[in-house]
């Protein structure tokens, strides 16, 4: 009975992670379709909503999966996603004082919970590797370092995008965002494949094509940053 209940729980969590991945990584397919329709790189508003929901779901799944890099990748991105939505709401005249306070309050709560879960996940990995053979532990931490480097690039791309957005007081995406995306996805995909974390690995693979396609749009002759549509 315990084995059956454990298997059922694993199946539920796997389905939950798959749905979160479909939302989170699928945002770039929504972005791709919008770009194909306009024949230039654009960022639809739906991208930021899907980012917010998918990120929270994948954070929970990463903690269940004991994935340090997965948890790291979904911890604090919500700040950037919601700030983009706030600028979009302001630009469209939909940002009330109550909505502004509620959005920032939600972000604060999510980030506080994410910090605790992130520390817990990495500490648990440390405990596991401390009991492993030195060679095996070394390989584990090497791949985690590669994944963390990829996540650092992912964080940089949104930091750059956030800075550009705050400066212009509207949601924009500079071209370097896509260059960093390709490099970061390649690094993280290698880490996830090595750890057999297939939901994250497939998600990374599925988005690389979109990153390259956006670079093609930009370097075809439209180098200006893309805003929301």
The count of structural domains within the chain is: 1
Is the entire prediction scored with pTM above 0.85? no
Q: How far is CA 12 from the centre of its chain?
A: 22
Sign of CA dihedral 170, 171, 175, 176: positive
Residues constituting the chain: 229
The pLDDT score that the predictor gives to residue 3 is 55
Domain with 22, as residue range(s), is 2-227
Percent of the chain that is helix, strand, coil (3-state, to 5) = 85, 5, 15
Mean pLDDT by 10 residues, the chain (229 residues): 68 93 93 88 91 94 92 88 92 93 94 93 93 92 94 88 86 88 94 92 90 84 48
Alpha-carbon gap, residue 51 to 74, rounded angstroms: 10
The pLDDT score that the predictor gives to residue 123 is 94
The pLDDT score that the predictor gives to residue 73 is 85
The pLDDT score that the predictor gives to residue 1 is 53
The pLDDT score that the predictor gives to residue 38 is 87
């Amino acid at each position: 009975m315990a084995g059956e209940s454990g298997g059922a729980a694993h199946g539920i969590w796997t389905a939950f992670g798959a749905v979160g991945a479909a939302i989170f990584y699928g945002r770039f397919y929504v972005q791709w379709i919008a770009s194909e329709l306009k024949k230039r790189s654009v960022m639809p508003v739906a991208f930021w909503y899907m980012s917010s929901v998918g990120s929270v779901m994948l954070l929970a799944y990463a903690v269940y999966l004991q994935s340090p890099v997965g948890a790291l990748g979904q911890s604090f991105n919500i700040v950037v996603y919601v700030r983009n939505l706030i600028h979009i709401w302001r630009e469209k005249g939909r940002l009330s004082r109550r909505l502004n306070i509620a959005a920032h309050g939600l972000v604060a709560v999510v980030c506080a919970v994410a910090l605790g879960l992130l520390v817990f996940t990495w500490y648990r990995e440390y405990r596991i590797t401390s009991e492993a053979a030195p060679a095996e532990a070394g390989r584990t931490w090497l791949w985690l370092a590669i994944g963390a480097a990829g996540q650092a690039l992912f964080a940089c791309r949104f930091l750059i995008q956030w800075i550009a957005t705050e400066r212009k007081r509207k949601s924009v995406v500079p071209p370097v965002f896509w260059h960093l995306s390709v490099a970061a996805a390649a690094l993280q995909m290698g880490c996830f494949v090595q750890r057999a974390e297939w939901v994250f690995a497939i998600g990374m693979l599925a988005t690389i094509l979109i990153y390259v396609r956006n670079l093609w749009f930009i370097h075809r002759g439209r180098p200006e940053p893309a805003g929301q549509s």
